[in-house]
Amino acid sequence: MTKDVIVRFVGSAGDGLVSLGELFSKILKKHNFNVLGFRSYQSVIRGGYNEYQIRASTDEVLSVGEEADIIVLLNNHVAKIHRARVNKGAKVIYDKEYINLDEFEYPQDILQLPIPLSTLTKEISKLKVLKNIVGFGAISHILGLDETLVKEVIFEQFGDKGEEIVSTNYEALEKGEQFAIENNWPIKWEKHKYGKAQQMIISGNEALALGLISAGLKFYSGYPMTPATSIVHYLTKHLPKLGMIVKQTEDEIAAVGMAIGAAYCGARAATGTSGGGFSLMSELIGMAGIEEIPLVVINSQRAGPSTGMATKTEQGDLFQAYGISQGEFPKVIMAPSSVIEAFQAGIDAVEIAEKYQVVVIILLDLYLSEQIATVRKFDLERTNKRYAILEKPDESYIRYKITETGVSPRTLPGTKNGMFFTGSSERNERGTSIASTLAGLPETLPIREEMVKKRMRKMEYISEELEKPKIFGEQDAEITLVSWGSTKYIVREAIKHLKDQGITANQLHIKTINPFHTQEVKQILEKTQKVLCIEQNFLGQMNDYIRMRTGFNIQHNLRRWDGEPIVPSQIIAKVKEVLKNE
C-alpha cells in the first residue's frame, strides 16, 4: 500500500517554522519516506504569514502537493487563510488556547484536533519553542512513526546543546503523543518498523553547492540576496574541509569581479545572486566573455522587477540571462529542474566554463533553491581534469590563438614565456588591442571578424556535449506540455493525473537554454497535436524564445506570476480547457 501524506505547518515569522519543517522532514526521511518540502514566507523577521508544506510518500514525490491532509495552526491570524486549503477529511491540529476554529467556517468534513500546546509546554519548560516538539509527538501518533527514530533525529538536532536540552525535547515529544492517545486521536497509519534510510535530505542550493565542490571549485564570492544566500552559508559552513575561499563581498559588482580575478589566476570560480544583483553584474560578465575567462554565475530567480517580492518565486529572467551585457559573446545558460539536477548542473557548469573558457549561467528559481528533497547520496569522488592550461609554453606562445574549436591555450600569471596582454577591448591573437586607433582600419577589420567567429565557434562544440531534449511520455499524446526549470516534475504529476482521467499528455522539457538545440526542439514540436507552454512569468518568455529560435508558434499558454509555484490542478484545468475548445 502506498503511503502518501501532505503536512502543513502554519504560523508567523519567529515561530520556528523553518526548523520545524526541516526537523519533521528529517524524521520522515529516517522512516524511509521520499520527502519534498517547501516554505512560503514573507520578508519580515517577526510576524506576518509563513507556512512550511511537506509531502512524504513511499512512492515517487513529484510536487509538494496542494491541499493538506494534516495542518498545524500555530496562531489565530493564519487560520482563516487555510480554511479552503485542506483536503476532505483533513486533520486540523491547532492550539486551542489561541485559536477558535469555529470563527473561520472550516469545512464540515474536517476533523478538528484541538491541543493546549502552550499549557503542555509550560508543564515542561519555559521555552515556548518546545510547543513545536509537543506537536511533533501528537503528529507522530497519527502517522504511526517510530518513537526511537524520532528521538534519533531530535538527538542529532540538539545533541550538541547538552543532555538537559535533549531530555527536555524527549519529554515534550512524549507529552504530545500521550495527549493524542488520551484524547483518542485517530491513527492514519499503524505503527511498524521501517528499514534503514538510504537517502539524504538536501535543498536545491545545497545540492548545487555540492556539485560545485565536487567539480573542484576553489573560489566563491557573493553578496547576500534571497534566494541565493544559502549557497554562501552552506559553503562557509563546510569551509574547513574544502580548501577553498568563500568571500562575502560588499556588493554584487565586487562579487563578480573577485570571481573573475580568481578564475584569471587559475582557480575554478563562481559567484551567485538573484535578479537585481545579476543586473549589477552585467558589465563584468561581458568582460569575462571577451577576455575568455572561465566563470560560473548563478542567478536564483525571484519575483521582480527591482526588489519585487524578495521571497517569492518566478521565471522572469530568461531574456535577462540571454542578453546579459552588451554585444555578443558565447554564454551557456542551463536551468536545472530538481535537487539532483542542481547537483549535476554545478559539476557541468564548472567543467564547461573551464574547458571552453566561457561564462556559464545557472538559472535557478526560488522554488528550486529553497525546496528540500530526499535523494540518494551524491558521489563526490571525482578526478577533475584541467583544460587548456599550458605549464611550460615556449617563446612562441599566443594567448588568443585562433583554433578549430575556438579554445586557445591559456597560461596562469607568473608562467615563464606565458605573458600576454588582455583587457575589455577587442584584440588580435596576441592580445594587443585593436579597439582605439586601429579600429576600422582595413588591416584590422578581418581581425575583428575572425576573433568574434573564434569565440562564438565554441558554442557548436558545447552544444554537442549537452543533453538534447526529448519527449517524456507517449509519442502520440493528445497534447504536449512544454516546460523549463523547476516546473518539470509538477508537470509530470499533472500528466499522471490526466492519464487517470483518460487524457494522454506528454512533455517537452527544456534544460539547456543556450546553446539551444533548435533542430531537435523544432522536429519534436512539428510532430505534436496541440502544445501548451507552462511557465512562471507574465510574458511567456520561453514561448517567445522557442518561436525566436525555431519559428514554431505555441498557441496555448499557462502562466503564473503571483509568486507562488504552479500546481498540478492548474495544469490539469488548462489542458482540459484547451482540448475542449479545440
Whether the predicted model's global pTM rises above the 0.85 cut: yes
Residues in contact with 299: Cβ distance below 8 Å, sequence separation at least 6, in sequence order: 228, 272, 273, 274, 275, 278, 317, 320, 321, 361, 362, 363, 364
Residues 370 and 392 in one domain: no
pLDDT given at position 381: 79
Instruction: Please state the length of the chain.
Output: 582
- Beta bridge partners, 13, equal 47
- Beta bridge partners, 298, equal 272, 362
pLDDT given at position 131: 86
DSSP assigned state of 128: G
Q: Which of the two residues, 256 and 421, has the higher pLDDT score?
A: 256
pLDDT given at position 506: 98
Residues 229 and 367 in one domain: yes
Q: How far apart are alpha carbons 575 and 29 in whole angstroms?
A: 34
pLDDT given at position 98: 87
SS3 21: helix
Q: How confident is the model at residue 507 (pLDDT cuts 50, 70, 90)?
A: very high
Residue 473 has pLDDT above 90, yes or no: yes
Q: How confident is the model at residue 195 (pLDDT cuts 50, 70, 90)?
A: low
pLDDT given at position 360: 98
Tell me the mean pLDDT in the region 169-187.
94
pLDDT given at position 366: 97
Residue 196 has pLDDT above 70, yes or no: no
79 lies in a domain? yes
Query: Per the structure, how many domains does the chain have?
Result: 4
Residues in contact with 162: Cβ distance below 8 Å, sequence separation at least 6, in sequence order: none
Residue 487 has pLDDT above 90, yes or no: yes
Strands 68-73 and 4-13, how do they pair? parallel
Q: How far apart are alpha carbons 424 and 435 in whole angstroms?
A: 10
pLDDT given at position 77: 84
* Alpha-carbon separation of residue 240 from 219, 236, 339, 344, 523 (angstroms): 14, 8, 24, 23, 50
Tell me the mean pLDDT in the region 444-450.
96
DSSP assigned state of 186: P
Could you identify the residue written with the cell 528521538?
A: 151
Q: How confident is the model at residue 43 (pLDDT cuts 50, 70, 90)?
A: confident
pLDDT given at position 53: 96
Q: Which three cell numbers stand for residue 57?
A: 510518500
pLDDT given at position 567: 97
Host H or E run for residue 504? none
443 lies in a domain? yes
Query: For residue 305, is the peptide bond before it cis, meaning its omega torsion is within 30 degrees of 0?
Result: yes
Residue 563 has pLDDT above 70, yes or no: yes
64 lies in a domain? yes
pLDDT given at position 157: 87
pLDDT given at position 181: 95
Task: Show contacts of 491-495: CB within 8 Å, 24+ apart.
Answer: 491/534, 491/571, 492/62, 493/62, 493/63, 493/568, 494/568, 494/569, 494/571, 494/572, 494/575
383 lies in a domain? no
Q: How far apart are alpha carbons 281 and 257 in whole angstroms?
A: 8
Q: How far apart are alpha carbons 138 and 158 in whole angstroms?
A: 20
Tell me the mean pLDDT in the region 136-160.
91
Residue 558 has pLDDT above 90, yes or no: yes
297 lies in a domain? yes
Of 197, 218, 251, the domain-final residue = 197
Q: How confident is the model at residue 257 (pLDDT cuts 50, 70, 90)?
A: very high
Residues 395 and 305 in one domain: no
Residues 442 and 410 in one domain: yes
pLDDT (tens digit per residue) in 267-278: 999 999 999 999
Q: Which three cell numbers stand for residue 164?
A: 538537559
Instruction: Tell whether the torsion through CA atoms of 342, 346, 23 and 310 is positive or negative.
Output: negative
Residues 526 and 482 in one domain: yes
The mean pLDDT of the chain is 94
Residue 321's φ and ψ, nearest 5 degrees, are -65, -45
- DSSP string over 349-372: HHHHHHHHT-EEEEEEEHHHHH-E
381 lies in a domain? no
Tell me the mean pLDDT in the region 188-203.
79
Of 434, 458, 482, the domain-final residue = 458
Residues 446 and 498 in one domain: no
CATH (domain of 240): 3.40.50.970
Of 180, 197, 214, the domain-final residue = 197
pLDDT given at position 193: 62
Residues 73 and 18 in one domain: yes
Residue 248 has pLDDT above 70, yes or no: yes
Residues 22 and 150 in one domain: yes
CATH (domain of 475): 3.40.50.920
Tell me the mean pLDDT in the region 513-536.
97
Residue 384 has pLDDT above 90, yes or no: no
Count Cβ neighbours within 10 Å for each residue of 466-502 and write b for 16 or more, e otherwise: beebeebbeeebbbbbbbbbbbbbbbbbbbeebeeee
225 lies in a domain? yes
Contact 48, 42 (CB under 8 A): yes
pLDDT (tens digit per residue) in 64-102: 999 999 999 988 888 888 888 999 999 999 988 888 888
Could you identify the residue written with the cell 545533541?
A: 159
pLDDT given at position 319: 98
CATH (domain of 145): 3.40.920.10
pLDDT (tens digit per residue) in 307-353: 999 999 999 999 999 999 999 999 999 999 999 999 999 999 999 99
Residues 41 and 190 in one domain: yes
Residues 133 and 166 in one domain: yes
pLDDT given at position 185: 94
Residue 535 has pLDDT above 80, yes or no: yes
Q: Please report, to the nearest 10 degrees, the dihedral formed by the alpha carbons of residues 15, 19, 25, 26 taken in order.
A: -150
Tell me the mean pLDDT in the region 515-526.
98
Instruction: Tell whether the torsion through CA atoms of 427, 432, 435 and 437 is positive or negative.
Output: negative
Helix axes 445-465, 339-356, angle to 10 degrees: 150
464 lies in a domain? no
pLDDT given at position 486: 97
Domain coverage including residue 328? 202-376
pLDDT (tens digit per residue) in 285-300: 999 999 999 999 999 9
pLDDT given at position 2: 79
Residues 541 and 561 in one domain: yes
Contact 109, 84 (CB under 8 A): no
Residues 19 and 82 in one domain: yes
Residue among 207, 220, 482 nearest 341 (CA): 207
For the chain, what percent of residues have pLDDT higher than 70?
A: 99
SS3 74: coil
